[in-house]
Amino acid sequence: MPEYLISACLCGICCRYDSGCFDYPVLAKLVAEGRALPFCPEQAGGLPTPRVPCEICDGKVIRRDGIDCTAEYTRGAYAALKACRHYGITAAILKESSPSCGVNSIYDGTHTGRKIPGEGLTAALLRQNGVSLYTEKDLPPL
């Protein structure tokens, strides 16, 4: 049974908005060992890959071209919570600064690359439901 929910993009799964991913061997190893469940809230919410970048602005998730994607991000957040409950997962390792997964910071909503303190929708929902949150920059003791 998995111990962690991990942002899929951190495990080498190319699901980021730009079809990219990151290579964190220690996290990929957790997945390979069955200790972690890779999960992309944006894809689970119905968004394609690649997709137009989004940022949180006034409580809504807005694409760079002005389209509101809050419903898809909310759907993905609840799908992540459902996965955690299904598997009894109580900790998540999430991609910092993402409008879904940001734990300590997010982009400021202006699409200019400026970060501010804040949480993504998935991170906030998981935290509100007792899931311990970590980032790729602040891993739990593995």
CA distance 129 to 131: 6
pLDDT digits (tens, 9 = 90+) for 41-98: 999 999 999 999 999 999 999 999 999 999 999 999 999 999 999 999 999 999 999 9
Mean of pLDDT values over 92-111:
97
pLDDT digits (tens, 9 = 90+) for 4-35: 999 999 999 999 999 999 999 999 999 999 99
Q: Which helix (H) or strand (E) holds 7?
A: strand 4-7
Q: What is the pLDDT of residue 15?
A: 97
- Confidence class for position 142, pLDDT limits 50, 70, 90: confident
Say which residues have a Cβ less than 8 Å from residue 84's Cβ, sequence separation at least 6: 5, 90, 92, 126, 129, 131
**Torsion from C-alpha of 116, 118, 122, 128, nearest 10 degrees:** 170
pTM of model > 0.75: yes
